[in-house]
């Protein structure tokens, strides 16, 4: 029996490009004569049958919008076996033949639980942290990086004018991919990430000192939130060098904003592929980027993988910083 009706939801932290993915899911479904329903507020909405029917008008002009028009929420109830069974029951009651779940690894675990309850699911990776182990790239990362870069470029202007040290904290949860990428792009004096043990004297103090000996009078330190508090790092710099660093925590501004072309296009391709996978009878799958293309793998395999270390980025950073 073919797919007649599907649902799409966004879960976990929002990421620019989620709307583009929702749009692609709907338009691909309509192209094949499939009804598509938006599930509001993630798995919490699925438990409570909080759905809306999607059509061309509802997704018109959302490809350029940040956030998610379907909203997102975390559901403690869905973390329980009872909640998962209730969500699966809702799928059966509404006649949903499949679910496209857009989000991070927590979203994937939720989809995996639904799959065990007999629901056909396909996941699309979307998180600004880019910390999903099974894919090289996740929707939202490029936009978040460009937002952070733009903010730091502006910040550098005033830091240079006043000859100051700036410590900027970027998001990334427990991963340093965003911080490392941004640090390389802005030419930071030093970048601190949770993947590497921090030796403040070697990784920060000596690089600032060397930069000053080379004639520089302003310094940019980028800190991943998982590597520690920017305020604590600034205090340590003050104690070591008698500098008075200025602290900037970019925070949730990195999650917002108009998605970049890269995020829009990747989201659109992934949304299309998600529907095609459901039409092909595949379930418990996650769409991943691999060597410039797209592949789909079992969610269990995806969750079991480990992210490759940031060795190349670290090597490049060592050559580029503190000079």
* Packing angle, helices 261-279 and 141-162, rounded to 10: 160
Are 101 and 107 contacting, i.e. CB atoms less than 8 angstroms apart? yes
Distance CA 105, CA 101 (A): 11
Distance CA 307, CA 291 (A): 15
Q: Which residue of the set 129, 142, 263, 296 is catalytic?
A: 129
The verdict on whether 244 is a catalytic residue reads no
Strand order in the sheet with 98-103: 51-53, 35-39, 5-10, 98-103, 121-125, 285-290, 293-298
The contacts of residue 34 (CB under 8 Å, 6+ apart) are: 3, 4, 5, 6, 275, 279
Query: 223-250 as b/e, with b when 16 or more CB fall inside 10 Å?
Result: bbbbbbebeebbebbeeebebebbbbbb
The CA-CA-CA angle for residues 82, 85, 87, to 5°, reads 110
Are 7 and 91 contacting, i.e. CB atoms less than 8 angstroms apart? yes
Are 20 and 50 contacting, i.e. CB atoms less than 8 angstroms apart? no
Query: 162-182 as b/e, with b when 16 or more CB fall inside 10 Å?
Result: eebbbbbbbbbbebbbbbbbb
Catalytic residues: 129
């Amino acid at each position: 029996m073919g797919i007649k009706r599907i649902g799409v939801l966004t879960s976990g932290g929002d990421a620019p490009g989620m709307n583009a993915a929702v749009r692609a899911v709907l338009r691909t479904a309509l192209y094949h004569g499939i009804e598509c329903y938006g599930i509001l507020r993630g798995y919490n909405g699925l438990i409570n049958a909080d759905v809306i029917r999607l059509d061309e008008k509802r997704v018109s002009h959302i490809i350029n919008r940040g956030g998610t028009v379907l909203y997102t929420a975390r559901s403690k109830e869905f973390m329980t076996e009872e909640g998962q069974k209730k969500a699966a029951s809702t799928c059966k009651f509404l006649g949903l033949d499949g679910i496209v779940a857009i989000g991070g690894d927590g979203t994937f675990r939720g989809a995996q639980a639904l799959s065990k309850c007999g629901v056909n699911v396909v996941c699309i990776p979307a998180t600004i942290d880019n910390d999903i182990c099974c894919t090289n790239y996740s929707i939202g990362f490029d936009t978040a990086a460009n937002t952070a870069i733009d903010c730091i470029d502006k910040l550098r202007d005033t830091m240079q004018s006043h000859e100051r040290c700036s410590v900027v904290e970027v998001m990334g949860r427990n991963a340093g991919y965003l911080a490392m990428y941004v640090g390389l792009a802005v030419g930071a004096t030093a970048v601190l990430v949770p993947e590497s043990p921090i030796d403040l004297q070697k990784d920060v103090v000596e690089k600032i000192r060397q930069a000053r000996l080379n004639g520089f009078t302003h310094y940019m330190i980028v800190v991943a939130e998982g590597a520690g508090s920017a305020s604590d790092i600034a205090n340590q710099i003050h104690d070591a060098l008698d500098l008075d660093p200025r602290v900037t925590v970019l925070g949730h501004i990195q999650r917002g904003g108009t998605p970049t072309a890269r995020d829009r296009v990747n989201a659109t391709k992934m949304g299309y592929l998600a529907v095609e996978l459901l039409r092909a009878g595949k379930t418990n799958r996650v769409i991943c980027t691999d060597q410039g293309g797209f592949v789909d793998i079992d969610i269990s395999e995806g969750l079991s993988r480990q992210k490759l270390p940031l060795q190349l980025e670290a090597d490049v950073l060592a050559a580029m910083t503190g000079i």
